[in-house]
Amino acid sequence: MANHEALDDIFVALADPTRRDVIRRLGRGPTSVGELARPFPITLPSFMKHVRTLEASGLIRTSKSGRVRTCTLNRERLALVDDWLAEQRRAWEAATDRLEQLVTDLEETP
Amino acid sequence: MANHEALDDIFVALADPTRRDVIRRLGRGPTSVGELARPFPITLPSFMKHVRTLEASGLIRTSKSGRVRTCTLNRERLALVDDWLAEQRRAWEAATDRLEQLVTDLEETP
């Protein structure tokens, strides 16, 4: 259940192009909020809402030093999406295997 | 941009445990709405909203035969999430390579 809630928050966080761009940018390394916000044609308070959504999902961490808040990507959290996708693939493969077995059984039936 | 919008809809669709369960169930093969709805303690109209959100995202397709509506998973659509994750990983790896190069350059500086 905890994992379910984590995935809810993660997918909500990823369902926005600005937030996905932030994730991509942070892949290059920790970055200050000011620098992250620069390319986006929105106000800093609007941008901060995106940062908070990302932080709430656990996808990023932020820390403040003086007046500068720096964001860091939490790759382990993004890996939960990989895990979920892998789980789906395993289910499909199991279904395909069962279907193949069924076809084999039918072919072998005299 | 089109891909951005597709990802928005896909991540919104995945940000709900009922919809993720439907995706998992459909991994085993096409299933009628009635059968899909059975395990969930919600009304059929509420369940249909989830089905429509999934359909709008392109993650599932539905077709009606007589009174039965059948849902089918569209794996190619789910693969867009894999593609997005792979893109992020490539960016991290490129960043790591640049960092390693920087360290090597520094070490080689007399």
Q: How far apart are alpha carbons B109 and A55 in whole angstroms?
A: 39
Q: Is B105 exposed, middle or buried (0-12, 13-18, 19+ CB in 10 A)?
A: exposed
Number of domains in chain A: 1
Predicted confidence (pLDDT) per residue in B8-66, tens digit: 999 999 999 999 999 999 999 999 999 999 999 999 999 999 999 999 999 999 999 99
Of the partner residues B27, B75, B91, the one whose CB lies closest to the CB of residue A28: B91
User: Taking CB atoms and an 8 Å cutoff, what residues of chain A touch B6?
Assistant: none
Cβ contact B29–A82 (<8 Å): no
pTM of the full structure: 0.87
pLDDT of residue A93: 84
Q: Is B27 exposed, middle or buried (0-12, 13-18, 19+ CB in 10 A)?
A: buried
Predicted confidence (pLDDT) per residue in B26-36, tens digit: 999 999 999 99
Domain span at residue B94?
2-108
Average pLDDT value for residue range B72-80? 94
pLDDT of residue B1: 42
A65 and A20 Cβ atoms separated by less than 8 Å = no
Q: Which residues of B touch A (CB under 8 A)?
A: 4, 7-8, 11-12, 14-17, 20, 23-24, 27-29, 75, 78, 81-82, 84-85, 87-88, 91-92, 94-95, 99
Residue A2 has pLDDT above 60, yes or no: no
How many other CB atoms are there within 10 angstroms of residue B107's CB atom? Answer: 7
Of the partner residues A12, A78, A87, the one whose CB lies closest to the CB of residue B88: A78
A86: nearest CA partner in chain B: B82
- What's the complex ipTM? 0.86
**Count of residues in chain A:** 110
CATH number at residue B62: 1.10.10.10
Cβ contact B85–A85 (<8 Å): yes
Q: How far is CA B86 from CA A1, B90, B93, in A?
A: 27, 6, 10
Cβ contact A24–B91 (<8 Å): yes
